[in-house]
Amino acid sequence: MNKKSTLASFLALIALLMYSSPFCFSDQKVLNPTTYAEKGYLTYDVKPMGSKIRPLIMRTFAPSLEINREFVLPNHSRGTKSPKYSPSSGKESTNFYEPIDGVPATIAVNLGQTLSYVWDTTECRLLYAWTDGFLDMKNYWGNRESGRRRGFGYVPRLYGFVFYKAQGIHPLHLDGSSISKRKAPRFKGYSLGADRLPTFDYEVGKSRISVKVEPGPSVQTLSILFSTSDNEKMKFQSPNTQVQVIEETAKSLHIVIRPNAGERFSSEVKKEVILKPTIEIGESLYTSLGCIACHSLDGGKNHGPTLKGSYGAKREFLESPVTLVDDAYIRESIEKPTAKTVKGYLKGMMPPYKLQPAEYDSLILFIKSVR
């Protein structure tokens, strides 16, 4: 291409960008955000969620949620702190640029309120999964008026309750050893099945692996289907995660995982330290932490016992002696649900919750108040 036509196509590109850019300053070009929302797009103000039949799939930077870099993200390179430079004084200042605390090149999927997850295309593994919300993209997309994203920290914020977080080396084992022990996996892309859910494909050496993630049979569980091109035996092993094999064939493995870690992240409700426990905080935690999915307030039986009138009631357990429902028992039930299992219910069904002391106390106050 000669210089002239390079210039011409450059100008054409600029014109095209100006014309099509949502950040264009001409008023006419800025579509009404509700029009976008009606079309099903994410906007700064409206965050429509996907659904199981119409998943929302986005390539994005993702929050790192303090995931262990050494074991979970070994193939990601990591920036280091570097000194800031001041052009006016010509000197390096004592301030530093911090590397961006996010994971690049991930694919975030939302299937509605029940499940969102982030797939990492570098490590070819599920990084984390959450319920109740999706991502707040403002940090990444910038501000509505200028499209400016510098100064927001770059990384989208997660909204909801994280119930699975990758820990340790790659959970997929082929013929007895984790694929972390082999050459780094290579992501080949994803395809959408007839059900419109994504299947991620990658290669480890000469084995080709496909993975599909769906909501599991009960809240805060995941159904994961692996298939492979080779006849190597597949196994899924991840710290603090109960794995139930649903079906295993020579070339496929279908599991349901029930993770043992809960953390709440939210961009709207700040993770403030609560000083004084209240019934109101307890009530909002009951909804935001998903207790509502398993415990009714009206006496109805669900996955777990109703909270109505439970305080002070007598409980029989599978292995332990009869107890009255008191503060200590409620706290233990939330923090370590496997310590005692109420008769007639499934052991290990309830996930443990790591909360602030005042959050446990607020839940206790709330449960006491449900008469």
Q: What is the contact surface with ligand HEC in residues (CB under 6 A)?
A: 218-220, 289-291, 293-295, 303-305, 310, 315, 325, 330, 333-334, 337, 340-342, 345-346, 349-350, 353, 363, 367
The least distance separating ligand HEC from the CB of residue 106, rounded to whole angstroms, comes to: 26
CB neighbour list of residue 22: distance below 8 Å, 6 or more residues apart: 29, 30, 31, 147
Instruction: Quote the CA–CA distance of 220 and 248 in Å, as a whole number.
Output: 22
The least distance separating ligand HEC from the CB of residue 274, rounded to whole angstroms, comes to: 15
Of 208, 162, 151, nearest to 64 (Cα)? Answer: 162
Cα torsion through 7, 12, 18, 20, rounded to 10 = -150
The least distance separating ligand HEC from the CB of residue 340, rounded to whole angstroms, comes to: 6
CB neighbour list of residue 288: distance below 8 Å, 6 or more residues apart: 132, 161, 264, 266, 269
- Residue 294's identity, in one-letter code, is C
The least distance separating ligand HEC from the CB of residue 315, rounded to whole angstroms, comes to: 5
The least distance separating ligand HEC from the CB of residue 87, rounded to whole angstroms, comes to: 52
b/e per residue, 255-276, with b = 16+ CB within 10 A?
Answer: bbbbbbbbbbbbbeeeeeebee
Q: Between 235 and 295, whose beta carbon lies closer to ligand HEC?
A: 295
Q: Between 218 and 244, whose beta carbon lies closer to ligand HEC?
A: 218
- Residue 91's identity, in one-letter code, is K
Q: Between 79 and 217, whose beta carbon lies closer to ligand HEC?
A: 217
Q: How many CB atoms neighbour CB 211 within 10 A?
A: 20
Q: Between 165 and 235, whose beta carbon lies closer to ligand HEC?
A: 165
Q: Between 57 and 294, whose beta carbon lies closer to ligand HEC?
A: 294
Q: Between 11 and 346, whose beta carbon lies closer to ligand HEC?
A: 346
The least distance separating ligand HEC from the CB of residue 331, rounded to whole angstroms, comes to: 9
